[in-house]
A and B are shown apart, each in its own frame.
Chain A
Amino acid sequence: MSFETPIGFIGLLAIPIIILLYILKQKREEVTVSSLVLWSRVLEDMQAQTPWQKLRKNLLMFLQILAAILIVLALTGFSVNTGNISNQPIILVMDYSLSMASTDIKPTRLSAAKKDAIKYVDNLSSNTPVTVISVARQANVLLYSSTSKEDIKRSIESIEQSSSYTDRAKAEQLVLSIKNQQADAQIVLFSDNPLVFGNEQIQYSEYKKQNDNVAVVNFTHTKTSASVTAMSVLRNQGNSDAEISITLYGDDEFLDSQWVTVPANGTKTVWWDKIPMTVKTMHVNIDTEDILLDDNSAYKAVLSDSQVKVLLVTEGNFFLEKVLSLIEGVDLVRTTHEERSFSGYDLYIFDGSVPDILPEDGNVVVFAPQPNSYFQVGDWMSTPEISYMDNSIFNFVEDLSFSIGRTRIIESPTWAETIMEYDGNPIIIEGVVNNTRILVFGFDLYETDLPLKTEFPILISNIINEYAPYSGTVVNDAVTQDAVQFRLNPDTVKTNVLLPDGKRLQIAPPIPPEPFVNTNSPGIYCLEQIKDSGNVITFFDINIPDEWLMEENSSISSMSDIDTGYLTAEPLRNLAYKLTIPLLILAMILLLFEWWYYAKRNYI
């Protein structure tokens, strides 16, 4: 039982007014008759015949009060609960992904869904245990099996709009695990897309009227010698072609604007050229309004053109020299083991030696180390087998297989972690000493076929990116709610991040900093590394993910994959039966009866 518009109870004020009207003396017309003898006799007879005379006299008043109450109930949107009287547990799944911010349902899909969910909870019988799960990129249990309607409603209210996509796999895993604990639970989904939870039955309330939305799903750039060229990809999620205006800004200044037509359910690539080299940040914005504004912008930090200075300390390594010289943006300087003091480089590569004192302003990569004061170097080990290497330096080369003739057995120190080992003996280790990151390969490149592999340049490029990054971040193309790991320069004293809204957060010390997770807002972020030798400012961008693409990818089992025979994703029934119309009809019948009774009355 619930009231949609309780303000309608103001109408109850009509009841005292009705009573007052009856209490007030009715103004009667005075008629003189010759005698009341007969009239008195008639009244006595009738009152004798009708013992409930007084009540009947007031029947009209009672009928009017009843009609007033019925009308007031109709005005209050009175509804009764017709469902879930069996206290069946409910798993209430709320989608709060980016698309739920669409305004095709006012004010937003999420607001409407939350309102309906609260109404749904109101209509549940009081002892129904409800589990509230919010799903977007993260799936969270907000409330587990609670019967307190206040708590349930509060947890629904607490759901805030996310600017990320729905990770269907995570949502499915979480909901199914809850469902396993409550086998008889009913899953109720409030979303704009039908999610699938195994073969479980779902009561699904859809919040999508239309999908006329154009989003910037990709924005990237490349530098040429004279200018910067950018590319933005637009996706039209609607069923009709969209003609839109899109504008490019550089460092928040207007650069260019284009009118483009994005085909229905398709993408359109927009190119921007002749962007000045001086531009540090760019963003594109779709000027034409659609139902979802958040995905109308994309941001890009233009990489600085400064070179990464790499010092190669070797007695001669053809492979390294060659590959480093091929990598764009690397300023390679070679020296021999006789060099003793190292400074002024972003990365130091030691081939066959380890310095007595580690450089302080750059990270270190070591091949075939000699015994040193930082870690133990043991005997040679012959023909170790290559095992799976889960590390960022092996990005894009997961299938790499190579052979090693022999390698040094490195005793992994406490500050390091092992990346690759054979038979319990570390072959590749990585760690941090005095803020300096060290990557150690136990083998000599000449005693392996690794340099002969096509993946070798990629591996070295990964090492450069990881240990001497162009920007402060490692994760390129980061999207909202990504955790961003910063690779700070070893001599950084303090590091701040400027959020797009101008807020400044200190993230270091400690060094290395924790992954940065305040990436809820899309935009240009600024990493500010404060060093004794001067501050280094780099920009990085956080963008809205391509929800359509991500949700497609994250879906373990799309609707089409499921044998629909097992699935009934039925629309959420309106469990509350709204009684407005029946109440008004009843009130009308009452008033008609009252009129009839008044006309046919047989009382005084």
Chain B
Amino acid sequence: MKVLDNNTLRKIHSLSMQIKIPISGQATGNRKSRSKGSSVEFSDFREYVPGDDFRRIDWNAYGRFNKLFIKLYMEEREAPVNIFLDSSLSMDYGNPNKFLASCRLAAAISYISLLSYDSIYITPWNEKVQATYGPFRTQSAFVQVDNLISGFSTQGKSNFSDALRQMEWKTGRGVSIIITDGFVEKGLEEGLKYLKYRNQDIFLCILLSPEEISPNLEGALQLNDMETGKSIEVTMSAALLKAYEKSFKQYLADIKEKCRMWGVHNVVLPSDMPVDLMVKSIIT
């Protein structure tokens, strides 16, 4: 594998996605669906009406009530999992590199989802959505996914909400996993709202490098923004670093608060965290 090694794949093999709400999709999977259909899990009875599949008539009930009833079962459908991978330039930063870490995370999520017979859509974005790859449905598709992800690269600025609005949606209700560093022009809020509007169960993964969480800078510096090209001049001091730390916490707290308001799962992941732990952090 290009993005994930076999050892990592083994670790995450047993993990499966915990998804709270039913989802809608075309192919059958092992997710509960609102669609009633053929499955092993009983859901309800209703009277037979012409046109129904007479193979589903419950003859035992007919014997007791002398009426034709049809057994309804909860149809198990696949969950469309949209992975929105931030591929703006700001992701190409840190040690370990945030973008590599986010690719590994995307691959890991894809792998687990494919194991669960979910369909995977991978959408790298920056100012706009570059493309939506998928659906990938079978486990064997992971090789494709792996190849696909390994070919991704960073470029451009990030604008989450505009990118989503310009995107052509292929799925309905589903799971959206956003992997980003959160340093997004105009913020994430509008984008999250839009995903909610699209009935997405949202997992927001804020992936940051250790240098961003705790900068180790000193002296008179010119800080250059790798995404926008802007720069500011600062003279590092203990007070400044303290203020940064405070501001950083506040920034995460703001994101958390907004996610709470919008019912968005969120997690902050350092880029040096092993990918299996990242996955665990997301699903637990």
Contacts and interface: CB of A to CB of B under 8 A. Distances in A.
B232 A34 contact: no
Interface string B90-111: 1101100010000000000000
Contact of A43 (B90, B211, B232): B232
B247 A33 contact: no
A37 B212 CA distance: 11
Contact of B235 (A36, A38, A600, A601): A601
A602 B240 contact: yes
Nearest to A601: B237
B247 A36 contact: no
B239 interface: yes
Contact of B220 (A28, A34, A41): A28
Interface in B212-252: 212, 215, 217, 219-228, 230-235, 237-240, 243-244, 247-248, 251
Interface in A42-61: 42-43, 45-46
Contacts of B221: 28-31
Summarize A's interface: helix, strand, loop or mixed: mixed
B240 A34 contact: no
Most buried by B among A28, A35, A40: A35
Contacts of B94: 34
Contact of B244 (A34, A38, A600): A38
A22 interface: no
Interface string A116-133: 000000000000000000
B251 A41 contact: yes
Contacts of A601: 235, 237, 239
Given A43-B234, A45-B247, A29 B220 contact: yes
A42 B220 contact: no
Contacts of A29: 219-222
Contacts of A31: 217, 221-224
A604 interface: yes
A36 B223 contact: yes
A564 interface: no
B223 A46 contact: no
B224 to A, nearest CB: 5
B82 to A, nearest CB: 24
Nearest to B225: A36
B276 interface: no
Contacts of B223: 31-33, 36, 39
B73 interface: no
Given A41-B247, A45-B243, A34 B234 contact: no
A35 B243 contact: no
A36 B222 CA distance: 11
Contacts of A30: 221-222, 224, 231
Contacts of A224: none
A49 to B, nearest CB: 9
A42 B247 contact: yes
Contacts of B225: 33-36
A25 to B, nearest CB: 9
Interface in A12-37: 26-37
A554 to B, nearest CB: 77
B209 interface: yes
B28 to A, nearest CB: 42
Interface residues of B, number: 37
Contact of B226 (A27, A32, A40): A32
Contacts of A28: 219-222, 233
Contact of A46 (B90, B215, B228, B240): B240
Contacts of B231: 30, 36
Interface string A91-118: 0000000000000000000000000000
B181 interface: yes
A46 B227 CA distance: 24
B247 A603 contact: no
A36 B228 contact: yes
A36 B248 CA distance: 12
Nearest to B181: A34
A34 to B, nearest CB: 4
Contacts of A43: 232, 234
Given A29-B221, A45-B247, A46-B243, A34 B183 contact: yes
Contacts of B232: 36, 39-40, 43
Contacts of B212: 33-34, 38
Contact of A35 (B90, B219, B239): B90
Nearest to A27: B220
A41 B183 CA distance: 12
Contacts of B217: 31
Contacts of A46: 239-240, 243
A70 B247 CA distance: 41
A36 B185 CA distance: 11
A39 B231 CA distance: 10
A29 B98 CA distance: 23
Interface in A195-236: none
A28 B217 CA distance: 12
Contacts of A600: 237-239
Contacts of A45: 243, 247
A32 B94 CA distance: 10
Nearest to B222: A28
Interface string A236-252: 00000000000000000
A604 B234 contact: yes
Contact of B93 (A27, A34, A39, A40): A34
Contacts of B243: 42, 45-46, 602
Contacts of B233: 28, 604
A37 B183 contact: yes
Contacts of B222: 28-31
Contact of A38 (B98, B230, B238, B251): B251
Most buried by B among A34, A38, A40, A41: A34
B239 A33 contact: no
Contacts of B230: 36
Nearest to B238: A600
B251 to A, nearest CB: 6
Contacts of B98: 34
B154 to A, nearest CB: 10
B244 A42 contact: yes
A45 B223 CA distance: 17
Nearest to B239: A602
Interface string A541-572: 00000000000000000000000000000000
A45 B221 CA distance: 19
Contacts of B93: 32-34
A33 B235 contact: no
Nearest to B215: A33
Contact of A42 (B90, B181, B224, B240): B240
Interface in B173-225: 181, 183, 209, 211-212, 215, 217, 219-225
B237 A602 contact: yes
Nearest to B218: A29
Nearest to B227: A35
B229 to A, nearest CB: 10
Contacts of A26: 220
Contacts of A38: 183, 212, 244, 247-248, 251
12 contacts: A29-B221, A30-B231, A33-B224, A34-B91, A34-B209, A36-B228, A36-B230, A36-B232, A39-B234, A42-B240, A46-B240, A602-B240
Interface of B: 90-91, 93-94, 98, 181, 183, 209, 211-212, 215, 217, 219-228, 230-235, 237-240, 243-244, 247-248, 251
Ranked nearest first, the 10 interchain pairs of A and B with the lowest CB-CB distance are A602-B239, A35-B183, A34-B93, A34-B90, A36-B225, A28-B222, A28-B220, A42-B247, A604-B234, A32-B224
Given A35-B227, A602-B237, 8 more contacts: A28-B233, A29-B222, A30-B224, A32-B93, A35-B226, A36-B232, A38-B244, A602-B238
